[in-house]
Amino acid sequence: MNAGIQVSKPPRLHRRLMQYDRVLGYRYTPRLKLRIPHEGGGYLVKTNADGFRCDHAVTPHKNRAHRVLVFGDSFTAGDGVSNGKRYSDVLEENLPDTEVLNFGLSSSGTDQQYLIFQQYAGRIDYDAVVIGVLVENIKRNVATERDWADHTGEAVRVPKPWFALAPDGGLILQGVPVGLPYKAEAPVSEGGRGSLRTTLRRMANTLGPDFKDFCQRLTKFQPLPEYGSPNNDGWRLMRAILEHWVSDLKVPVVIAVIPVYQYVEETASYKDIRRRFDEFAKSTGVPVYHVVDDLLREPAETRRRLRFRIDCHFTPDAHQIVGQALARVVAPLLSESGIREIDRESSSAVVNVGTRQAMRDRDIGQEGIATGRGVAGTNHFTS
């Protein structure tokens, strides 16, 4: 355990919204119904008996013709947005006779989401899986704890499990059972450039979101330089987690790459992220859907409405766009004519021919996103 004041009970935030989990670190409190204050006017959080923000019970057998499992972090769980208005809810509304189970967990990494899948995959029926990968998780996956604040504003550190990458490419689970949250001591000064970056970041945050946006547009700040190289340790771990995950699946899966706002508002280049995930798609035969493509269809002058003014999470408008677009990607996976037939032994995959050709025409190294991507009715994913 890192230096700090170990507490016998989790901080108040966990007693109110989250509860300790020895494998995941934390999960939502089961059977919760709570309204959370928020700049958007507050939002309703409802959880099922398994402790997920899902209006459906996690039952062994399907209750409709099809069942889709969706995994992700707070952008999937729906921070800032009430149950019923998230992209998983919109996805369900646009898929006939289909139930969508949302296994999103706020503040989680792709590593924790893979552990959630492992807990449930062998116990329930399902027809397809959506793995919502927030691009920022390239940082979260290498972390051993997260910095949070309880509802009084007091800083707490929340331990999490993590995977170490073995020399042969295997994954070694670390940090389980997960330690309890603890009150954080004063942070140690980074010194040098790290201290200067921290100071400047705090200054920008203090001056408000508009000033912060101005600074990022001016500097073309790149929030995730880790995607710049295929040999980056964070990317190698992310790729390994996803490779192991999709190899465990016997049903169709799509990787939905969820951007942070800098890529939606084009203050930073998305090209390296696109390149890394498209390389993954090419080598595995697993379709990758770049969420940013459909968000960029919105006019630049109105794109700011896709996130809250202070909270950077998706607004209901963004969830609507993503859910409708994702339905066009998932629907073929649920139909007999569109389901990918995967032969793991020969590493072959049959995918939509029109989609494959469209993606061949895409220049993944092009700066930013070309106009015309994200045309309505097209399945914008790489295979």
Tens digits of per-residue pLDDT, 105-115?
A: 999 999 999 99
Using one digit for the tens of pLDDT, what is the confidence trace for 87-99? 999 999 999 999 9
Structure confidence at residue 215 (pLDDT): 57
Q: What is the dihedral of CA 66, 349, 232, 257, to 10 degrees?
A: -30
- Pairing relation of β-strands 66-71 and 98-102? parallel
The structure tokens 């069942």 sit at 67
Structure confidence at residue 137 (pLDDT): 98
Do residues 120 and 149 make contact, with C-beta atoms less than 8 angstroms apart?
A: no
Concatenated DSSP letters of 110-164: HHHHHHHHHHHTTTS--SEEEEEEETTHHHHTT-SEEEEE-TTS-EEEEE--EEE
Span of 54-63, 215-224, 327-336 with lowest mean pLDDT: 215-224
Structure confidence at residue 203 (pLDDT): 55
pLDDT value at 226 more than 90: yes
Using one digit for the tens of pLDDT, what is the confidence trace for 329-381? 999 999 843 344 333 333 333 333 233 333 333 332 333 222 222 323 333 33
Q: What is the mean pLDDT of the chain?
A: 81
Using one digit for the tens of pLDDT, what is the confidence trace for 115-155? 999 999 899 999 999 999 999 999 999 999 998 876 677 78
Sequence-separated (6 or more) residues with CB below 8 Å from residue 202: none
- Of the candidates 347, 378, 342, the residue with the CA atom closest to the CA atom of residue 253: 342
Mean pLDDT calculated for residue range 287-312: 95
Long-range contacts of range 121-124, CB-CB < 8 Å, 24 or more positions apart?
121/248, 121/249, 123/60, 124/58, 124/59, 124/60, 124/61, 124/67
Mean pLDDT calculated for residue range 176-203: 64
Span of 71-85, 183-197, 286-300 with lowest mean pLDDT: 183-197
Mean pLDDT calculated for residue range 189-202: 49
Q: Give the number of residues written for the chain.
A: 383
Mean pLDDT calculated for residue range 250-275: 97
Structure confidence at residue 213 (pLDDT): 55
Structure confidence at residue 212 (pLDDT): 53
d(CA 20, CA 165): 26
Instruction: Identify the DSSP state of 307.
Output: B
Structure confidence at residue 99 (pLDDT): 97
Domains observed in the chain? 38-141+225-382 (3.40.50.1110)
**Residue 47: in which H helix or E strand, if any?**
none
Sequence-separated (6 or more) residues with CB below 8 Å from residue 34: 16, 17, 44, 45
Mean pLDDT calculated for residue range 226-246: 98
Structure confidence at residue 10 (pLDDT): 46
Span of 41-50, 207-216, 258-267 with lowest mean pLDDT: 207-216
* Bigger pLDDT: 153 vs 319: 319
pLDDT band at 205 (very low <50, low <70, confident <90, very high): low
- Of the candidates 68, 3, 121, 115, the residue with the CA atom closest to the CA atom of residue 252: 68
Amino acid at 301: E
Mean pLDDT calculated for residue range 220-249: 96
Structure confidence at residue 354 (pLDDT): 32
d(CA 192, CA 134): 30
d(CA 158, CA 363): 41
d(CA 6, CA 27): 20
